[in-house]
A and B are shown apart, each in its own frame.
Chain A
Amino acid sequence: MDLLNISSTALYAAFVLYLIATFFFGATIRDKRTDNKKGISAKIAMTLTVLGFLAQLVYFITRWMASGHAPVSNMFEFLTFLGMALVLAFIIIYSYYKLSFLGLFALPIAMIIIAYASMFPTELAPLVPSLQSHWLYIHVTTVALGQGILGISFVVGLMYLIKQIDQTVKSKQRSWLEFVLYLLFVLIGFVVITTTFNAVNYNASFEYQSGTETLVTEYHLPAIAGPNQGTLITEDIMEPWFETPSWFQGGDAGRKFNTVIWSLIAGSVIYLITRLILRKRIGAVIQPLLKNVKADLLDEIEYRSVAIGFPVFTLGGLIFASIWAEIAWGRFWGWDPKEVWALITWFFYAAYLHLRLSRGWHGEKSAWLAVIGFGIIMFNLIVVNLVLAGLHSYA
């Protein structure tokens, strides 16, 4: 077996281990004790999580050996690493607070991210000159670690909201919470729909005009939105219903926009089916699981993960990033959209920390902020890459 095979098998193994670990974390729910002495299922769950993390480490190292550069250079590799960082952050936070319920929520989020990652091209890609720098590894790994830790604050904030928001009366909070959960379904929808059409090898080629060049793009999902001013080349295949507006920037805007549409459709369908089966809001279904957790403790863990993640993110996302930009382009800051969104993220968490100085912002308000904060991180990862082109557009 060559290195690359070992690598992808290890990643797969990690995914499966996380999945099983989640079930064991689920089993701890019946465990009424919220003190440090945990039952056997928590121990098994944690062991599996650590094993999964080690498997992912094997993936990382073998892929590095296979390509000759640290596997953090494209969307697949970065997102996978982010999932890994989230698990690492979970292990760290768990070892301090020993809160098993956290695993029940953190691992699925990590798994969604890893599954999402594997929908992007997974081949080893050579590095363009600007990426050939040790600072690439240092910058990207630190950013991912910071985002992983901040991701825990999102997970805990979400748990807080699910636990605290009254599901019996209609309210804005209840609807927004359900909306956040729905977005997770959209990510799952993306994974499902992409996997399905990949399995049948769907392919539609378009020719389109980009500035003065004529380019060809390949759709792997039926085209609902075709490229701007594009013509379908493949025969006997669904014609696009409409064109992608011209203000979507970046290479392949049409294909990416089409993927978003499909994810929304697939996510909505899965969400609706789930609702039909459960006959309850998703929030209401999960709420009872969190009965035995103290809201106060959730609030504190959420705040601490921001407190720990903020310096790491600053170091990776702003300081190391600037050092690399200085060496590569001779300017440490260039107001490139990706850079600006890192700054926005930083401003946001700075505002969060200052708001926490006043007691009125503890609890639910701050949980919303933690959720929004991670939303900004994901926005930077997904939307900025797809819609706003820049030096960083990975995929």
Chain B
Amino acid sequence: MKEIKCECGHVNPLGTVLCESCGKPIEGNQHIDGNDDEKLLNMRYDGTARRSKTYNKSWIDRVWSFFSSVKVGIWLIVLALVASMIGTIFPQEMYIPANAPNRDPAVFYEEQYGIPGLIYFQLGFHNLYSSWWFMVLIALIGISLVICSLDRFVPLFKALRNQKPKKHKSFLSRQRLFSETDFVTDHDMETVKKQLRKRRYKITEENGHILAEKGRFSRWGPYVNHIGLIIILLAAILRSTPLFYMNEYVWVREGDIEVLPETNGEYYIENKDFILETHDENDERFREAITQEGVVASNFQTDVIVYKANRPIPGAEPELEPIAEDSIRMNQPLEFDGYELYQSGYQLNEFSNMTFKIHETTDSDEEALASFTVDLRNPESEFELESGFRVVLDQYYPDYYLDDDGEPASETNFPRNPAFVFLVYPPNSESAEVSFLGIGRNIDATGENEYKIGIQDFEMHDVSGLTFKYDRSLPFFGIGAAIFMIGVIQGMYWQHRRLWIQRKKDGSLLMAAHTNKNWFGLKKDIEIVIENTNVNMVTDQQELEEKVE
């Protein structure tokens, strides 16, 4: 047996619960939608035959049934929800605070949170959202969404297209809203129809059987929104490829020109100036808040020029042609040729260079015998000075501190707090004097040095941290999100309402109604429609059912 023929003559596919045409419950299939012991019919998919409920022989059938179950879908959503929660118990690796004593995750979690932290780290929860199993979970949701939607959309679409105004009595009486009226005049019938049309119901009539329907399109809302979600998931896959997404971080010093990464040397950027502004402490409006909370930044800005490199001869020094000159601010990124630059960080007051002088230790006027300048980013290792002095830069700590063992070390590679060990060779001498020098420090290790080095001058600069990226997947996310929104609004803010009216030759009338949501609104509609007629108001049989309990 492939198909089921109903007594109304309509031939239904195998697995149908309610005849597509007249709605009569098909014997032997009522368990599928759980109508057996219920007074009311389950109208969820209009009793259509769904593949998942009909076939379960081959493994394909079983996989299909598994993923098309809403129960499974909900479980997947709940699992994703719980996993997301777990990821917020401790900070993710990228959010380990910058001022943490040790930012190495292998140390940080245990040090900060003890045993739970250690377990968290060992289970890989510190990178939970990029873990393979989280991805699999999201992918399963995607698969479930597609299969589930297909399983229901196709039969539902067919059934709603095939439906006939003439319905079987048992279909009508087992609707949630139902009424019987003994006698209704032709005039009353006209009133009802007129009112229905006025309320924008579409009326189909067949031998005194009426189907009034509105808002059917809202039934497609969930399928539309699921398509939107699928597009978003696909966009996420695109974004994981370099063709669609690139993200780099560049530090550019004031006055410098740097090549922009991932552009094959095609673009360069110059940092003309970094500007940090703060809110005026004397601003009447904010004075109180600023006194309490301290100074508040009002602007982070980098004035930049972007250059495009022309290389007439391959390998030669490029000619830089300015293509954009602008200020990058927070919330105002700079766009050029499909790339974007964001103001993302800054470092104030790094030292660019320092000029030192040599004088005799005993000279209280500290008269300079020689002087030299160290470029702190690219220090030379040896300086030959005019007066015959030779200075060797033995050690350089750009960001000096004393480590746990009391040894000098550099915390970062940025010249924020430079310190030096210089070997000074006096004129015509082969033996050196050792000098240790830093900001606020000038140490003569032996105490016997004849010459002393002092800081004469220095220059400083700021450094801008810029995010440099393109994200060509954004339009796809946008389209997906828009479709999702259209779908949810379509499904949530409109409802599919149907009214069936059957008037017999003797003037008696049956009326039943169904909606997928907002029963209150449907009842209000019916009240208005039957106003000033003899038709009885429908009773809500679900409510009656409850009262009996």
Q: Give residues in A with beta carbon < 8 Å to B.
A: 66-68, 96-97, 121, 123-130, 132-133, 135, 210-213, 246-247, 249, 294-297, 300-301, 303-304, 307-308, 310-311, 314-315, 318-319, 322, 326-332, 334-337, 340-341, 343-344, 347-348, 350-351, 354-355, 357-359, 384, 388-390
**Docked-complex contact B330 and A123, CB < 8 angstroms:** no
Which A-B residue pairs are the 6 nearest by beta carbons?
A211-B99, A129-B330, A330-B342, A126-B279, A347-B81, A125-B289
**Docked-complex contact A314 and B484, CB < 8 angstroms:** yes
A311-B489 contact, Cβ under 8 Å, with A124-B285, A211-B101, A335-B92? yes
B85 close to chain A: CB less than 8 A:
yes
Q: Shortest beta-carbon distance, A11 to chain B, in Å?
A: 18
Docked Cα-Cα span, A355 to B471, in Å, equals 36
Can you list 15 contacts pairing A with B, beta carbon distance less than 8 Å? A123-B286, A129-B329, A212-B101, A296-B546, A304-B517, A308-B492, A311-B488, A315-B485, A330-B340, A337-B91, A344-B84, A347-B84, A351-B74, A351-B81, A358-B70
**Docked-complex contact B489 and A344, CB < 8 angstroms:** no
Chain B residues lying within 8 Å of A350, measured Cβ to Cβ, are 77
Docked Cα-Cα span, A133 to B283, in Å, equals 21
The one of B471, B517, B520 that contacts A297, using a Cβ cutoff of 8 Å: B520
Chain B residues lying within 8 Å of A303, measured Cβ to Cβ, are 517
The one of B112, B292, B477 that contacts A121, using a Cβ cutoff of 8 Å: B292
Chain B 520-544: CB-based contact to A (< 8 A → 1; otherwise 0): 1000000000000000000010110
Q: Shortest beta-carbon distance, A119 to chain B, in Å?
A: 15
The one of A135, A247, A297 that contacts B113, using a Cβ cutoff of 8 Å: A247
**Docked-complex contact A314 and B488, CB < 8 angstroms:** yes
Docked Cα-Cα span, A343 to B77, in Å, equals 11
Docked Cα-Cα span, A213 to B330, in Å, equals 26
Most buried by A among B99, B101, B286: B286
**Docked-complex contact B289 and A124, CB < 8 angstroms:** yes
**Docked-complex contact B492 and A340, CB < 8 angstroms:** no
B237 close to chain A: CB less than 8 A:
no
Question: Other CB < 8 Å A-B pairs besides A330-B340, A341-B88, 13 of them?
Answer: A129-B300, A132-B331, A133-B331, A212-B101, A294-B543, A304-B517, A314-B484, A315-B485, A328-B331, A330-B344, A330-B467, A337-B88, A347-B81
The one of B77, B81, B113 that contacts A354, using a Cβ cutoff of 8 Å: B77
Chain A residues lying within 8 Å of B492, measured Cβ to Cβ, are 307-308, 310-311
**Docked-complex contact A247 and B329, CB < 8 angstroms:** no
Q: Shortest beta-carbon distance, A390 to chain B, in Å?
A: 7
Q: Shortest beta-carbon distance, A248 to chain B, in Å?
A: 11
Chain A residues lying within 8 Å of B300, measured Cβ to Cβ, are 129
Chain A residues lying within 8 Å of B285, measured Cβ to Cβ, are 66-68, 124, 126
**Docked-complex contact B70 and A357, CB < 8 angstroms:** yes
B296 close to chain A: CB less than 8 A:
yes
Most buried by A among B73, B78, B344, B488: B488
**Docked-complex contact A129 and B298, CB < 8 angstroms:** yes
Docked Cα-Cα span, A247 to B113, in Å, equals 6
A124-B286 contact, Cβ under 8 Å, with A344-B81, A347-B81? yes
B481 close to chain A: CB less than 8 A:
yes
**Docked-complex contact B42 and A359, CB < 8 angstroms:** yes
Chain A residues lying within 8 Å of B289, measured Cβ to Cβ, are 121, 123-126
**Closest chain B residue, CB of each to CB of A304:** B518
**Docked-complex contact B286 and A129, CB < 8 angstroms:** no
**Docked-complex contact B77 and A351, CB < 8 angstroms:** yes
Docked Cα-Cα span, A130 to B344, in Å, equals 10
**Docked-complex contact A326 and B474, CB < 8 angstroms:** yes
Chain B residues lying within 8 Å of A300, measured Cβ to Cβ, are 518-520
Chain B residues lying within 8 Å of A341, measured Cβ to Cβ, are 88
Docked Cα-Cα span, A131 to B296, in Å, equals 12
A246-B112 contact, Cβ under 8 Å, with A330-B340, A344-B81? yes
**Docked-complex contact A336 and B95, CB < 8 angstroms:** yes
B132 close to chain A: CB less than 8 A:
no
The one of B87, B117, B485 that contacts A314, using a Cβ cutoff of 8 Å: B485
Docked Cα-Cα span, A336 to B92, in Å, equals 8
Chain A residues lying within 8 Å of B297, measured Cβ to Cβ, are 128-129
**Docked-complex contact B87 and A123, CB < 8 angstroms:** no
Docked Cα-Cα span, A300 to B489, in Å, equals 18
Chain B residues lying within 8 Å of A210, measured Cβ to Cβ, are 99
**Closest chain A residue, CB of each to CB of B78:** A351
The one of A130, A212, A301, A334 that contacts B330, using a Cβ cutoff of 8 Å: A130
Chain A residues lying within 8 Å of B77, measured Cβ to Cβ, are 347, 350-351, 354
